[in-house]
Structures are given as structure tokens and as C-alpha cells.
Structure 1
């Protein structure tokens, strides 16, 4: 097909830039920390099987251990109780994993207030300037939080009252879930919800409303500052874990230069 040939030629010539929106995955990757008595995810780790030695003289390989929601990862609808009868990560249609994306940049507001919340009026003002949100596409919410990803404590930004990271109000989350055509949202923080979302009504509204509506989440993204406001195409490839609620994911953006 000439369209596919043009795509490959564009990538090879540099006319289409491929940007990696994925955080490196290692034992230093920040992970979500829940209060007791809730269960905890495990950090990412490698367990060496062989490395050109008696265990395997010609090859190097590892086992790895991690949670589904570690590092840059994909939230499937069944991750949340409101979407419990929805898709698991293996059931997401492949065509939905390649979609247009727009960037809503509130990094300045989030730098001034780590508890900043995106509101419906922010989204409508963005649409008035840039056009409607993409049908079947991603809303990528830039807060500048990825600069903190080198350090677990700085990334979670918690004190005695809990984490303080930017997110969305319950009303905005419901609006995006029920009144917009997007496939899902992507954020730079450890999860799609604000750090204080445990105290919202409902608690964790991005999870509750968006996953309950059969939409998706991408978290711990980076390099959103290198994307245009509109016009990028995102390729998000989670592992098709049967019965899985999510997966670490390699997220790539195609940007026409």
C-alpha cells in the first residue's frame, strides 16, 4: 500500500519523527505506594538466568518481576471496580492502540501548585482555541511532572496528609468519560488521578469514570513537551496479558516535521 510505504519513507527521511514517551524501566522506577492494609505492587527487578557462562555459554537472558501498573503503563477498563465487566488488557482492539493525540499543557500551573486540578472550563477553553478533542484519540495532560521521575519520594511528593500531585477534578473526569469522544487520557504522574484523589467524591474519579466508561489510561509518560498541541499519532503497545488489568507499555509518538 502506498500509504504504508509513505509512512516508512517519512520515518526514514526524518519527515516523521518518532518520539519515545516511555520512562526507562528499572529497579529505580517509581511505583505507587498505597497505605495499609491495601496490597502493594512490587518494584521492577531482573533475575539473571545466564550470561555467557556455565548456565548458558552463548546467551544472556533474565527473568523479570514487576506489577502490571509499574512505570509507563496502560490501564484497561477492568482495572477498576466500575469497569469490572469491561475489557482486560488482552481484549483491547489493536486498532485502538494507534490513535491521534492532543496535548493540554498545564505545566506552569502545576509548578505553582502541585495539587492543581484540570477543570471542565480548562478543556473547553482549549477546544475553543484548538478544536474538538480527537474522536477515538488520546488527551495527553502535560504537567511537567516527569522531571521528578528520577526519585521515588520527589515523584510521589507525599507528606503526612498524603501525596500531592496534579490531576483532574471529579467533574472534569466525568465530563471526559461521558461527554467527549476520546479513547483515554495520558499523564506524567504515577497514576491518572491526582495525589489527593483518595479524598474526592468519588474517590479516584479518573479511574472510576473513565475506566467505567470503557476508556483507557496511560501513565508515567515523558517528553510531552516535545509534542505539538495537535497532530501527533500515538502508538501504545501493552502486553496482551490474558485477564490482566494493565501492562507496562512502550508508548511512541509519530510527529510530522
Structure 2
């Protein structure tokens, strides 16, 4: 039996589970809010074209309006100034959209402190327990923030000082992007960076270092609690938008049970 036939049998038989890591996309999907004078993305919306009526008696369809970075989405290198001249989302090699993934769980720390930052020592501690980070793979950073995704205000968690969401320190972001074999970083928050990352040096270091290194980002993931610390295979499927800096994506994980 071929390898692909074995995989299909495993999925059909339940020994390999397909876990959806994608947040439902609707008008209620939380979106990033930047302060003035910066421009903001539009939220997702549907506009009905026809629905089994005089506009089209046998079919239902819609126009959609959305930003590239709305909901669960993929960040291509060209999204950030440090990645200028790098791949747009249509140029990402398809072989890089299927990759191993590990999950680092900091949900307890984030529950105690919404501004919690992952440091290099936290990652090294994880490696001592679970083995090295996977070459050409994803680090999925679990913080429990997906539990807030149904409420824009709770999800952004902003006050007069700005948003308060967990993330990764500048030193750790640089180390992960430049000194580990990772392909990319996935998070449950609205972006790959912490809410306070506008004040870091450099600002938004996960974007700056990962995309500057030709690596990728995935954000607003869900259901990371259903994945093991290592052993999952991630399938990230953004739209191949020519010239696009990113795209809403369907993100699936294959998990051997």
C-alpha cells in the first residue's frame, strides 16, 4: 500500500485525526485596530448576489470584502519592511505549506498575566522536555487566547495604555527567527506579536525578525489545546494572491491518535 493510501486509511479509520485550527470567518471576527494616523483593515463582510430568486433562481452566492490579515491568516515575508523584496503570498512554495508543528503551552502564564512574554529560557526548557524544535517546522504558541475570539473587546484587551495580549520578547523572537531551524510562528492572538510590542525594540519583533528572515506567521489560530507538544503535521492553505502580503487561511493539523 502506498504512503498516501495509508494516510487516507488512517484518516478514515480515526488513527489520524484532522483538527481544524481555523477561526470561523464572519462579520463578528475580531480585527486589529491601529491608532491614528495609521490606516486600518476593513472587517470581513458578505454581500448577497442571489439566493434562489429572480437574481439567480438556481443558485446562491456572495461577494466578499475582507482584508488580507483578517481572522486566521498567513503572513508572507513581504508583509513587513524587513521582508521587503521577499515572497508575496502567491510565491510561497507549496511544499512549505505542509510541515511539522510543535506546541508550546503558556496558557497558565497568560491567564495570570495577559502581558506575559515568552523568553529564550522558556523555549529551552520546553526543548529539554520534548526535544529540539523541528527543522522546517512551525512553533505554535498556545496562550488560551482563542477562548476570547468571539468578543472583539476581550480579544484585543485594550485600555488607555494600549492592548494587553501575550506574546514573545524581542530577544526570543530574534533567536527563534535567526538561530533556530523553524519555518514560522503561529499564535492565537490577533497578530504574532504581543499587544505591547509597539513599544519593543524593534517594534513588533516577531514580524520584524521572522518575516525579515524569509519565514512566516500564522495568527488567530484555535484548538491548539487539542494538539500534542510535538508530532502534529500542519497544513496551512492561504489564497495565492498575486502581490499579496498575506491571506485568510484554512489551517489544519494531522494528529496521530
Q: Smaller-chain TM-score range?
A: over 0.9
Secondary structure class of the residue paired with 1:147: helix
| 1:9 aligned residue | 9
Counterparts of residues 66-215 of structure 1 (less than 5 Å): 66-215=66-215
Q: For 1:78, what is the secondary structure of its paired residue?
A: helix
Compute the TM-score of the two structures, normalised by the length of structure 1: 0.99
Measured in 1, the distance between the counterparts of 2:184 and 2:129 equals 21
Inter-partner Cα distance in structure 2 for 1:40 and 1:186? 22
- TM-score, normalised on structure 2? 0.99
Q: Note the C-alpha offset of 1:83.
A: 0.1
Alignment RMSD (CA, Å): 0.6
Q: C-alpha deviations, 1:202-248, integer Å up to 9, x for none?
A: 00000000000000000000000000010000000000000000000
1:30-80 deviations in Å (ceiling 9; x for gaps): 000000111110000000000001110000000000000000000000000
Per-residue CA distance 1:115-171 (angstroms, 9 max, x = gap): 000000001111111111000000000000000001000000000000000000000
- Mapped to 1, the partners of 2:23 and 2:172 lie a distance apart of 27
Question: Unaligned stretches of 5+ in structure 2?
Answer: none
Shift in Å at residue 172 of structure 1? 0.3
- What is the SS of the residue equivalent to 1:171? helix
| Separation of aligned partners in 2, 1:175 and 1:41 | 30
Post-superposition Cα deviations, 1:167-191, rounded to whole Å, max 9, x if no partner, equal: 0000000000110000000000000
User: Following superposition, which runs of at least 4 residues in structure 1 exceed 2 angstroms of deviation?
Assistant: none
Q: Distance in 1 between matches of 2:31 and 2:225?
A: 23
SS at 1:231 equivalent:
strand
